[in-house]
Structure 1
Amino acid sequence: MSKKRHEHHEEHIDESWLIPYADILTLLLALFIILFASSQIDSKKYESIMKGLNAGFNGGTGMFEVSNIVPLNVSPNAEKKKEDETKKEDKTQDQNSQQDQQLKAMFEKEAQDLKELQEKLEGYIKDNGLTTQLETKLNEDMLKITIRDNALFQSGSADIKPESQMLAQTISSMLSSYKEFNVEVSGFTDNRPINTREFQSNWDLSAKRSLNFMKFLILNDQIDPSRYRSIGYGEYQPIDTNDTVDGRAKNRRVEVNILRQLKASGAKSFIP
């Protein structure tokens, strides 16, 4: 008896459900991307992602259209924080503007005060026939008063002549009306060497002359000595040639420099 061979037919599982399942997973992935992007405050970045998804899934427009979408999970304090930062920036700008205006006003007042002091000195020089012995020069850094040495000292001496003490007193009196300025008194000589028991070099002579003249200025109790200093330059900063008598006479001098507290660059002068 022949046995009937039953052929075993393998059953195939219906996998058609994978297609919608894959679509659902794709949509879920897209949804999570949207949620992640919308949680960021950067709206430009969010819009860029949405446009990219639209282009990928719908040819550019469709279910991910973002023109009317409001970003999700935006912090309720974000707008207030942004507003506070804007106000803070505006306040800082206002303060900087006020400081700039104050500095400008101070700078202009200094210039006006020094111009006024120069006019007083020029009037005194003219009225007393001192045009060959004194001169003034005003620039953005200081008012410079230049005094020939023979108007103050005997040759080779650092003692102020008795007849010149009135000149020193007058300058001191004028300076006392402008207390806010710092003052530097500088001494200079020509290049002819000196070697005496009192002065071994031109350094010593110029330093002693500037110091003595400064001491005379601050005898006025209306002057603040902490704003004054003296310095000797010897022969090393001539303003004319040392080859002529007139040139050497110009180089032997004392300078009183009334310094501006605020220079054009905003820097302070030597005393804080």
Structure 2
Amino acid sequence: MSKKHKHAEHEEHADETWLIPYADLLTLLLALFIVLYAMSSVDAKKFEDMSKAFNIAFSSGKGILDQSAVVTNANQMNVIDQTKPNSDGNQTMSERQRQRKAESLRQKEQQQLEKLKRQLDQYIRNNGLTAQLKTQLNQSQLLITISNTALFDSGSADIKQESRKLATTIGAMLEAYPGYEISVAGHTDNQPIHTAEFPSNYELSAKRAINFMSILLASGHLDPKLISPTGYGEFRPIATNATAAGRAKNRRVEISIIRKYTDAAATETLTVAAEQ
């Protein structure tokens, strides 16, 4: 009777070795579903992170009864899901704020330069100087071009007495718009000059630029650090030097009010005609 009882207990004991591969299979399926879920809204960075998590799950050697590796990977993915959008969102917001600020500054500068141009154009019309002065507003600067005949005698760098008022008036207008870098450039035609004072057109054009700049600074309200004179001689013509009319156009002084804020992506210049 005792032997039969022991034999029955032995027969009722089931073989549980199948639990090991079954637990491993469930572990792999769980890791696979986690990866598939994460890939439903994946980007390149998240895919790389999910791939690492997937590799860890496969190489961890843990079964269903010990899920620490899977739980750790799931926590890592939760951290990625929670921090990545916020990080991108903060960067995007910061970039948008910088773009809006830059655009606001460009618009304000555009309005200032357009206002200054209107004032100059009004002065030119009121004083009958349309043949001698012109203004142009483009993407990089507000350019004021003055014919040399309005400022200097031939071969001289001394500003005519009657023209000093013009330079003074331009300087007074610029005082209302501080902070802009200003370039004063002298240009000549290609007719050679060789005197004790001016060995070449370089010296003549540079001296004319310096003399005009000196009048701009005479009031003491413009920042000397922001103004620079340059002499280009005959090497930046805007017309042909083969005719008298062309040479007259090339003899000029240019005052450039340089923009502080420019749009590097712009493909079209903001050109405003001198006469509107």
User: Same fold by TM-score, threshold 0.5 exceeded?
Assistant: yes
Distance in structure 2 (CA, Å) of the matches to 1:176 and 1:46: 62
Match of 2:27 in 1: 35
Distance between the aligned counterparts of 1:111 and 1:73, measured in 2? 56
Q: Is the 8 A contact 2:34 2:74 kept in 1?
A: no
Aligned to 1:112: 111
2:45 is matched with none
Count of matched residue pairs: 224
Instruction: Give TM-score scaled by structure 2 length.
Output: 0.73
Residues 37-46 or 244-253, more deviating? 37-46
1:139 is aligned to 2:145: no
Unmatched tracts of structure 1, length 5 or more: 1-19, 48-63, 65-70, 268-272
- Aligned CA distance change for structure 1 residues 199 and 175 (closer, same or farther; 3 Å): same
DSSP 3-state at the match of 2:108: helix
Corresponding residue for 1:58?
Answer: none
**1:119 CA drift (Å):** 0.4
Q: What TM-score, normalized to structure 1?
A: 0.74
More helix by share: 2
| Residues 46, 136 of structure 1: alpha-carbon distance in 2 compared, 3 angstrom cutoff | closer
Question: Equivalent residue of 1:137, what SS?
Answer: strand
Alpha-carbon separation, structure 2, partners of 1:169 and 1:39 = 80
Per-residue deviation, residues 80-105 of structure 1 (Å, max 9, x unmatched) = 55323322221211111111111111
- Report whether the alignment pairs 1:244 with 2:243: yes
Q: Relative to structure 1, is the Cα distance of residues 73 and 30 closer, same or farther in structure 2, using a 3 angstrom cutoff?
A: farther
Match of 2:220 in 1: 221
CA spacing shift, 1:39–1:246, aligned 2, 3 Å: same
CA distance in 2, matches of 1:160, 1:30: 100
User: Which one scores higher on RCO, CA 8 angstroms, separation ≥ 6?
Assistant: 2
Q: For 1:250 and 1:42, locate their aligned partners in 2 and report how far apart those are by CA, in whole Å.
A: 76
Stretches of structure 2 lacking an aligned partner (at least 5 in a row)? 1-13, 40-63, 65-69, 267-276
Structure number with bigger Rg: 1
Deviation at residue 264 of structure 1 after TM alignment: 2.2
Give the Cα separation in 2 of the matches to 1:73 and 1:119.
69
1:170 to 1:266, Cα distance in 2 relative to 1, 3 A = farther
Q: 2:265 and 2:185 mapped to 1: Cα distance?
A: 24
How far 1:147 sits from its partner (Å)?
A: 0.3
Cα distance in 1 for residues equivalent to 2:137 and 2:157: 27
Q: Give the corresponding residue for 1:6.
A: none
User: Structure 1 residues 168-177 or 32-41, which shifts more?
Assistant: 32-41
Residue 163 (structure 1) aligns with: 162
Aligned pairs (5 A) from 1:181-220: 181-220=180-219
Q: What amino acid sits opposite 1:99 in the alignment?
A: R
Q: Is the 8 A contact 1:38 1:72 kept in 2?
A: no
1:48-68 CA-to-partner distances (Å, cap 9, x unmatched) read: xxxxxxxxxxxxxxxx9xxxx
> Closer, same or farther in 2 for the Cα pair 1:40/1:172, shift >3 Å?
farther
Native 8 Å contact 2:171 2:216 kept in 1: yes
